[in-house]
Structure 1
């Protein structure tokens, strides 16, 4: 991550924003499919149910049109700049803080995991409202309730109160802590194991390999929390009633008890297909933009 020459926050923010938007424009349909499968309670046998990723893709295109694969993309696009910028900027900032706190000159594996977890917790505060609106728009049952992201926000605030926009903060925090600690921790380790890059093409290769493996490990670690986060955020708050899915760990137990352990990995295939390669895209674009800024500033 070029930690030897940290750039000011505004450059980290811009690089993270460009990386995030590039990743989401490429991989978003997989996110729609992932959410649909995660929200489905019980096995998806026939009818309107989904029997997996390919079946979900097919039924969405057949019954709702291909454009539905991009429904709800506005909140993620608006979210990507602050989200990815926060991810990488917070990771760099926490890394600097922890190196100073522990008196270490360079990052190590343990520090990379701690730094990633801290960056994930920081990032979660930024993304929760955007994630909630995205989930509501992606759910097929909500298709007729909202006329776009602004209408969705207004109706949530009016019907459930403004604090409802932060419904699922706890589960989102767990999701991001697990993903970021796995992602940044694995990136560090894989880069240490790969041959040292000589030239731009080898650097891109190393970033793709490290980022893809990191994204895959992060996805394995955080998918159960992602499943319950989707369920929690898709549960409208109704006065006088307690939602079935409310807090992360109890919701985890409810899903496992009612649907089995494998249900905690619903949507795993489209999620890992997105965030595995997506993790590589993120790292390549972020590193390339940061290198461009260093050249432009004359810091190389």
Structure 2
């Protein structure tokens, strides 16, 4: 009973630490996400979407035309989505790993099973958070009133489709209107590439992260010696390295998702109906380069974000585990503080993210 209570408490600690850590990273790095999203949807088929030359040009134009606050468009759903994604992902990932360890009667999972655990957690979180990330994408792409010439062109295209463009008035308004105008199906646009992104990104990132952390903690130690507690610098380096590997590998899925999730009533001359159509048209019009638009600001965001999030997670989790151990000391004998992460034998649970996803996003 005491062991079960400790396991449940550790899972709650994983969830709380994950949610807090994800939100901290979003606050610092959201502008990079806005620039990345705007570059991702530049396919040359939308009258209402400016054609930025590069990330620096995009940032300069966004600030000049819409004000610096526009760099924080979509912040509310980003914070909500990140908190929910990280909290759920950490908790589910650790629970799944613990279950696999018990089922296999092993103290540590192999890289393949770590990837499988991360993929399972990613799929569950993706189903939960796709509506939030959809709203974030649309708010980030939503601009201030266009110039008269551009507005006339967009208005003509929208009028031809029998629609009137009405901007969303924040997160709640977007959630309500998407449901009313597009139905339940509208909330899950881009779900296919999101599932691919969540499962593969998390699997690659945290298999690499777990292995780096395990090897470093066991380096130069015999099987009878306890794991070495890793420092902040090492954890940050491992987090950034694993995130870089996963981000470059899975980035095309992000581009496909963003193009599917953008509003299709903004004067576009090309409307995407499926992920396969996005892939086919992008390849025909832009080639391989089209699948990596916005990669620069994406890496500038996700690498420090991963380092900040995982570093915050590790330290918050240690504090929570220490508090849990102190409160349990009078009634229970000391026990390992992180049974959900048996590969390390310490408080350093091996987290996973969306995203994200994501998120991410998270893998986002």
Match of 2:174 in 1: 152
Q: Pick 1 or 2: higher relative contact order, CA cutoff 8 A, min separation 6.
A: 2
* Contact 1:136–1:142, Cα closer than 8 Å, also in 2: no
TM-score (norm 2): 0.73
Greater helix share, structure number: 1
Q: Deviations over 1:142-181 (max 9, x none)?
A: 8761111111122212211133112222221111112101
Shift of 1:196: 5.4
Tell me the distance in 2 between the aligned counterparts of 1:266 and 1:51: 11
Q: 1:82 aligns with which of 84, 87, 94?
A: 84
Match of 2:115 in 1: 113
Match of 1:183 in 2: 205
* Contact 1:132–1:167, Cα closer than 8 Å, also in 2: yes
Structure 1 unaligned blocks of 5 or more? 238-242
Match of 1:252 in 2: 279
The structure with the largest alpha-carbon Rg is 2
Distance 1:246 1:222, change over 3 A: farther
Mapping of residues 129-208 of structure 1, within 5 Å: 129-140=131-142, 145-194=167-216, 202-208=230-236
Pair 1:220-2:248 in alignment: yes
User: Secondary structure, in 3 states, of the residue corresponding to 1:231?
Assistant: helix
Structure 2 unaligned blocks of 5 or more? 1-5, 146-165, 220-226, 326-334, 338-364
Larger deviation, residues 160-169 vs 119-128: 160-169
Which runs of 4 or more aligned residues in structure 1 lie more than 6 Å from their structure 2 counterparts after TM superposition?
197-200
Give the number of equivalent residue pairs. Answer: 288
Tell me the distance in 1 between the aligned counterparts of 2:242 and 2:70: 29
Pair 1:230-2:252 in alignment: no
Tell me the distance in 2 between the aligned counterparts of 1:259 and 1:194: 42
User: Secondary structure, in 3 states, of the residue corresponding to 2:231?
Assistant: helix
Q: 1:54 aligns with which of 50, 53, 56?
A: 56
Tell me the distance in 1 between the aligned counterparts of 2:280 and 2:102: 39
RMSD: 2.5
